[in-house]
Amino acid sequence: MDGLADQIRRLKEERDAVILAHNYQVPEVQDVADIVGDSLNLSRQAAKVSQKVIVFCGVHFMAETAAIISPQKRVLIPDVEAGCSLSDSITAEELREWKAKHPGAVAVGYVNTTAEIKAELDYCCTSSNAVGVVRAIPANREILFLPDMFLGSYVSRMTGRKNMRIWAGECHVHAGISAQDIDKKIRSMKDAEFVIHPECSCTTPMLYDLASGRYDGRPVSVLSTEGMMRHVTESGSKNFVVATETGILYRMRRQNPQKTFVAASDRAECQYMKMITLEKVYRSLAEDRYHVTVKPDIAAKARRAIDRMLAIS
Ligand code: 13P
Ligand code: SF4
């Protein structure tokens, strides 16, 4: 009897499916995936892959983004309950009210939002291109940035943009990675380099140092999950403190066996990402579930914001 991973690989061929997995997925799911990456990379891949079926191992907004970009493909998510606290921090109604209060402002929304929110946006962005997207907007235009306040403050600092209103949303996992967590590691890991996701609350007291690339004498880079993967591979440093969801450590260690990776906080686990198990990936392929769809009118509007982002990055 074949193991579950072999059965998944066989079913994948039979169903003409590709498995995309986010960097936070559990190791065994990353191992059966064809492509592992960050939100931006996975969105791009969803548009490029030739297979008819995409099994999206990540959270719901990511699968929805794939369905918007590739309406001719069948997008499946192994657990339809895999949500995101950040995406839940703003509703479409709240966004419409916010826009009505600031007519003429440009709405820029993080990819961690529902399709209904994306349909209300002028631009979408991810953690790897948010600075570039904001820079591409004429300086005299007011910006409504949503929903992550830590990413928003970071982007405002890096672009020097003052006319940016920032929604007070957060991801509970990254908000929980505090300045105290970083300070502890600065004391205990003497020669380590720091890589930090811009959704972390620890970025706030560091904001004025981040542009210089150093904090308390240590090299610090603020990066998306894929940016982190690239950086730790290219850097000459041997030891790294990683401030993001701990699932990424598996891929970092596997690809860089000669280097050491320590989580800034061991509590940084996203229970939504961890809802996707190998068993559920198997059932997703075997039972053709759960099909993620977006209403065509919402998808068409959301796609404009995503296409504008893809054109910039
Ligand atoms: P990335 O775009 O950096 O992969 O981040 C997505 C996410 O959900 C962060 O929590
Ligand atoms: Fe959402 Fe945070 Fe989980 Fe990322 S880590 S999927 S932002 S809840």
**Closest C-alpha among 152, 165, 182, 306 to residue 243:** 182
Same-domain pairing of 257 and 183: yes
Ligand 1: does its nearest atom lie under 6 Å from the Cβ of 225? yes
Residue 13 CA, ligand 1 centroid: distance in Å: 29
Q: Say if residue 154's pLDDT is above 70.
A: yes
110-139 pLDDT, tens digit per residue, is: 999 999 999 999 999 998 899 999 999 999
Whether residue 287 is contained in a domain is answered as: yes
| Higher per-residue confidence, 217 vs 117 | 117
**pLDDT reported for residue 284:** 98
Ligand nearest to the CA of 198: 1
User: In the predicted model, is pLDDT for residue 2 greater than 90?
Assistant: no
> For the chain, how many structural domains are there in total?
3
Q: Hey, what amino acid is at 108?
A: V
Helices (H), the chain: 4-14, 27-32, 39-48, 60-69, 92-101, 115-118, 130-135, 149-159, 172-175, 179-188, 203-210, 225-234, 248-255, 278-287, 296-312
Q: Are the beta carbons of 46 and 54 closer than 8 angstroms?
A: yes
Contact predicate 263/248, CB 8 Å: no
Cα 10 to ligand 2 centre (Å): 31
Pair (202, 255) in one structural domain: yes
CB 37 within 8 A of CB 23: yes
- Taking residues 279-307, what's their average pLDDT? 97
d(CA 248, CA 224): 11
Q: Within a domain: residue 268?
A: no
pLDDT in tens, 27-76: 999 999 999 998 878 988 988 999 999 999 999 999 999 999 999 999 99
**38 in contact with ligand 1, CB cutoff 6 A:** yes
Specify whether 54 is located in the same domain as 112: no
pLDDT band per the 50, 70, 90 thresholds, residue 238: very high
- The answer to whether residues 155 and 193 belong to one domain is no
75 within 8 A of 63, measured Cβ to Cβ: yes
Choice from 22, 62, 270 to test ligand 1 binding pocket (greatest atom count within 8 A of CB): 22
Q: Which atom of ligand 1 is nearest to the CA of 22?
A: 4
Q: Is residue 113 a part of any domain in this protein?
A: yes
Q: What is the pLDDT of residue 271?
A: 98
For tokens 């007291």, name the residue.
Answer: 205
Do 191 and 149 have their domain in common?
no
153/44: higher pLDDT: 153
Nearest CA to ligand 1 atom 4: 38
306 shares its domain with 162: yes
- Reported as a pLDDT band with limits 50, 70 and 90, residue 280 is very high
Q: For residue 269, with 0-12 CB atoms within 10 Å meaning exposed, 13-18 middle and 19 or more buried, which class applies?
A: middle
The model's pLDDT over 160-206, given as tens digits with 9 standing for 90+, comes to: 999 999 999 999 999 999 999 999 999 999 899 999 999 999 998 88
How far is CA 216 from its chain centroid? 27
User: Looking at the structure, do residues 287 and 236 belong to the same domain, yes or no?
Assistant: no
Q: What percent of the chain has pLDDT over 70?
A: 100
Q: Which domain covers residue 237, as residue numbers?
A: 177-263
What's the pLDDT score for residue 40?
78
> Which residues, at least 6 apart from 295, have a Cβ–Cβ distance to it below 8 Å?
none
Ligand 2 neighbours, Cβ below 6 Å, are 59, 84-86, 112, 171, 173-174, 245, 270, 272-273
> How many Å lie between the centroid of ligand 2 and the Cα of residue 172?
7
In this structure, the answer to whether residues 40 and 77 fall within a common structural domain is yes
Ligand 2 atom with least separation from CA of 24: 5
Which of 61, 124, 199, 248 best tests ligand 1's pocket when mutated (most atoms within 8 Å of CB)?
199
Q: How far is CA 301 from the centre of its chain?
A: 21
Tokens of 45: 């891949």
31 and 79 in a single domain? The answer is yes
- Which ligand has the shortest distance to the CA of 148? 2
Of the candidates 13, 3, 65, the residue with the CA atom closest to the CA atom of residue 34 = 13
**Burial of 81: CB neighbours in 10 Å, binned 0-12, 13-18, 19+:** exposed
> What's the chain's average pLDDT?
95
What pLDDT, on a 0 to 100 scale, did the predictor assign at position 130? 95
Confidence band of 242 (pLDDT split at 50, 70, 90):
very high
Å from CA of 235 to ligand 2 middle? 26
Which residue type does 63 have?
A: A
Question: Average pLDDT, stretch 291-298?
Answer: 97
For ligand 1, what atom is nearest to the CA of residue 245? 10
State the CATH number of the domain containing residue 154. Answer: 3.40.50.10800
pLDDT of residue 1: 56
Instruction: Please indicate, yes or no, whether residues 74 and 96 belong to a single structural domain of this protein.
Output: no
Inside any domain, residue 160: yes
